[in-house]
Amino acid sequence: MENSIMTGLPPFSLRLMHGDFPRLERLLERVTVRAVVLRGDELLLVHSSVNGDFMFPGGGVEAGESHQDALARELHEECGAELLVTGGLLGETREYRSAREPDYDAYCIRSLYYLCRVGEDRVPPRLQAYEERLGFKAGWHALEEALHNNQWLLGGHCPQWTHRETRVLAQLYRWHKDGALQAL
């Protein structure tokens, strides 16, 4: 696997509030990484046949794990793909929810999106039980179609993560349309 390279784009920063929080002083934060794998006008995305939404491959960074190692693990588990190159950080989202733990005001999921390149060969993914229940399937999807699909889903009942992924898809679509976002 090659070392990280930079993209030259100014990173985006998005904040999503799922509820009202009078204070955000005592936060319980979970860091996740998400892979943005671009091939022409297509992205390697995970589609849920249950929810109908598209999401970026990724998940939580485990204790002692680098972001690059977490990206490699998640791409292998969810897409059966080998990470070849980790590009620069495209941006981050912060999602705030009510904390279940009494010592915290809110729970924050901080998702970091990296431009990545994967190998052409794929092996069967190793999905977790909840991912299998949600009908996760990785594949190449047109960026504009994935964006419009998720935007349509926002009009009804959808998982909270669909809001996050839709906002990121919209940012990537703007960059790609302007020629600022290119595959590695």
pLDDT digit string (tens) for the chain, length 184 residues: 444 455 677 899 999 888 876 677 888 899 999 999 999 999 999 999 999 999 999 999 999 999 999 999 999 999 999 999 999 999 999 999 888 888 888 889 999 999 999 999 999 999 999 999 999 999 999 999 999 999 999 999 999 999 999 999 999 999 999 988 888 7
SS3 assignment, position 83: strand
pLDDT of residue 3: 43
**Tokens representing residue 171 in the block:** 């940012």
b vs e for 54-67, b when ≥16 Cβ sit within 10 Å of the residue's Cβ? bbbbbbebeeeeeb
Q: Rounded to an integer, what distance in angstroms lies between the CA atom of residue 106 and that of residue 86?
A: 31
pLDDT of residue 102: 85
Q: Rounded to an integer, what distance in angstroms lies between the CA atom of residue 33 and that of residue 58?
A: 5
**C-beta separation of 3 from 153 below 8 A:** no
Of how many residues is the chain composed? 184
DSSP-assigned states of every residue in 98-120: E-SSTT-SEEEEEEEEEEEEEEE
Question: Phi and psi of 11, rounded to 5°?
Answer: -65, 145
Look up tokens 């349509």; give the residue.
152
